[in-house]
């Protein structure tokens, strides 16, 4: 099969990915073999390729927004059949025994494993996934629209939960790419007022078209104080303006798995009056089922930019250069 591997992590200009011919994987006990139909291109893939995240599997195949078709089942798999359409997401395995798993917070499991980082992902024609972590897909969407829901949508939903947005509240979104444009729609469907702050003029236009109350530059204050904010851009310098934009008691959720260094904060300006910062660490399977059910009941407008599988390196290069408005998707 055709596949991509991260052979020398570094800036995209140095060519960290290599196209290869690889053997089609075989499903182990408890796993599904999936023919990849499409795979979303996520900023986390970029962090894996460029070495922002430490290497967990040398030569890993990236990709964790996979929409595919089951073609074979490993031993002891029940509840699936060949021909079923499933999603493969970032969270791939947890121990099920630790205190975090027992509390329903499996995303914090110290033994958690991730698709496209610890195991090969969807920048390939086939992939395997533990059946317990394969996700059902909602109807009413094309395959390329479903792919971004499996990470961009999921992590945005988790970030929205962590931001503790009150009913009818004012939400600020910093950065407006694949995840943010989905999260904005979820917040709007729940009755929130959304203000988008991003340096991209095209992204600001998209935000307004989706129903945002305002769209301005990321470094500028929003038109009114925010009850909650989510930082999607992996830019630590934006933490200060985001905190300064919060009303009393407001919460800033930082959605990315990687963030550049945060400058010093001023306690009175940025944190006093019970403002708080929260990080976001993946999502649980319960989050995934809840979000995908929501997406099935409230159709989300998914803005995608298609690329061929053979152009995966170009897709990541465009993402690194902020040349993707919406979500890039590889058509396999």
pLDDT tens over the chain, length 332 residues: 999 999 999 999 999 999 999 999 999 999 999 999 999 999 899 999 999 999 999 999 999 999 999 999 999 999 999 999 999 999 999 999 999 999 999 999 999 999 999 999 999 999 999 999 999 999 999 999 999 999 989 999 999 999 999 999 999 999 998 889 999 999 999 999 999 999 989 899 999 999 999 999 998 999 999 999 999 999 999 999 999 999 999 999 999 888 999 999 999 999 999 999 999 998 999 999 999 999 999 999 998 999 999 999 999 999 999 888 878 999 99
pLDDT of residue 186: 97
pLDDT of residue 192: 98
Kindly tell me the burial class for residue 321, based on how many C-beta atoms sit within 10 Å of its own C-beta (0-12, 13-18, 19 or more): exposed
Place of tokens 């023919």: 35
C-beta of residue 108 within 8 angstroms of C-beta of residue 281? yes
Q: What is the CA radius of gyration of the chain?
A: 19
Record the tokens describing residue 70, joined without a space: 């089951």
pLDDT of residue 25: 97
- The angle, 0 to 180 degrees and rounded to 10, between the axes of the packed helices 43-50 and 312-320 is 100
- Tell me which long-range contacts 196-201 makes (C-beta under 8 A, separation of at least 24): 196/172, 197/172, 197/173, 197/222, 197/241, 198/173, 198/174, 198/233, 199/322, 200/176, 200/322, 200/325
The neighbour count for residue 159, using CB atoms within 10 Å, is 26
The neighbour count for residue 306, using CB atoms within 10 Å, is 12
- Tell me which long-range contacts 307-314 makes (C-beta under 8 A, separation of at least 24): 307/41, 307/331, 309/2, 309/4, 309/39, 309/123, 309/124, 309/125, 310/2, 310/19, 312/4, 312/17, 312/19, 312/41, 312/123, 313/4, 313/12, 313/15, 313/17, 313/19
pTM of the model as a whole: 0.89
Among the listed residues 180, 189, 45, 52, the one whose alpha carbon sits nearest the alpha carbon of residue 122: 45
Measured CA angle at 42 (ends 291, 104), to 5 deg: 40
pLDDT of residue 213: 98
The neighbour count for residue 161, using CB atoms within 10 Å, is 16
């Amino acid at each position: 099969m055709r596949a991509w591997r991260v052979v020398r992590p570094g800036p995209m200009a140095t060519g960290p990915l290599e196209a290869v011919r690889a053997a089609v994987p075989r499903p182990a006990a408890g796993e599904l073999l999936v023919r990849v139909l499409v795979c979303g291109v996520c900023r986390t893939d970029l962090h894996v390729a460029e070495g922002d995240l430490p290497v967990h599997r040398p030569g890993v195949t990236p990709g964790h927004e996979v929409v595919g078709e089951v073609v074979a089942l490993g031993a002891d798999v029940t509840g699936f059949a060949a021909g079923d359409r499933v999603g493969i997401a970032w969270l791939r395995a947890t121990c099920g025994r630790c205190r975090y798993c027992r509390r329903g917070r499996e995303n914090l499991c110290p033994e958690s494993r991730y698709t496209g980082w610890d195991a090969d992902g969807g920048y390939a024609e086939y992939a395997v996934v533990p059946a317990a972590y394969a996700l059902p897909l909602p109807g009413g969407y094309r395959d390329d629209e479903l792919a971004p829901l499996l990470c961009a949508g999921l992590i945005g939903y988790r970030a929205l939960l962590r931001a503790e947005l009150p009913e009818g509240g004012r939400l600020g979104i910093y950065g407006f790419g694949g995840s943010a444009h989905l999260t904005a729609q979820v917040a709007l469907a729940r009755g929130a007022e959304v203000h988008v702050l991003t340096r991209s003029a095209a992204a600001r236009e998209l935000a307004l078209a989706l129903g945002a109350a305002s769209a301005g530059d990321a470094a500028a204050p929003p038109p009114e104080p925010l009850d909650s904010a989510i930082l999607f851009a992996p830019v630590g310098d934006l933490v200060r303006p985001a905190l300064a934009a919060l009303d009393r008691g407001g919460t800033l959720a930082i959605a990315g798995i990687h963030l550049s260094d945060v400058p010093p904060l001023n306690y009175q300006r940025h944190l006093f009056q019970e403002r708080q910062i929260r990080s976001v660490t993946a999502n649980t399977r319960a989050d995934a089922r809840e979000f995908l059910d929501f997406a099935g009941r409230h159709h989300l407008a998914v803005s995608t930019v298609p690329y061929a599988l053979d152009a995966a390196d170009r897709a990541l290069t465009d993402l690194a250069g902020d040349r993707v408005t919406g979500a890039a998707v590889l058509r396999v």
